[in-house]
Chains A and B, each alone.
Chain A
């Protein structure tokens, strides 16, 4: 049991725990926006820890560049997904408005409607 093995084990366990937390979160949370909050944990941090574990186990340049590519594409595409899902949820009234503390978008929309009259 070397130091590298312990590091790999820790990183993989962090990723597995985040995946489990995301699963429990999307079952327990009440609406789309709160589930969106739970869903992004394994998508970014879980993937990052697992990729670091791969680089620790197989430290070559080919693996490192591919890993950087994977993380780059994930960081480029996941915010787009989250943005589109959140926007679509807001527009189609899948947001629990009684749970919101502050709704800036609603205020902006009503301001815009008034100035447009």
Chain B
């Protein structure tokens, strides 16, 4: 097992813990803002994991996917935050 394979396992476990925690907050989250925020975190972790996989396997196939995600990640959270009425508790 090479050095980068060991690193990829450790990093995968850490990314996984972060993603599971974000999903936990999406399910539990008391308000819709918490859910939007946790969705953003889940997306950021997905972008980071895509990049880590590219760096470990030395290819650039999913670089365009990262670009598109970074460009359009903003739409969901802003539309939720902008059009949330005061009485929407969850």
Contact = CB atoms under 8 A, between A and B. Distances in A.
A81 B44 contact: no
Contacts of B38: 26, 35, 39
A93 B89 CA distance: 10
B interface SS class: helix
B52 A27 contact: no
A interface SS class: helix
Contacts of B20: 23
A117 to B, nearest CB: 24
Interface residues of B, number: 54
A77 B71 contact: yes
Interface string A46-73: 1100110110111000110011011101
Contacts of A18: 48
A11 B36 CA distance: 28
Given A58-B60, A66-B67, A26 B21 contact: yes
Given A9-B7, A39-B38, A92-B86, 10 more contacts: A13-B10, A23-B22, A32-B34, A50-B55, A54-B51, A66-B60, A70-B63, A70-B66, A80-B74, A81-B40
The 7 A-B pairs of least Cβ separation, nearest first, read A23-B21, A23-B18, A50-B51, A77-B74, A16-B14, A19-B18, A16-B11
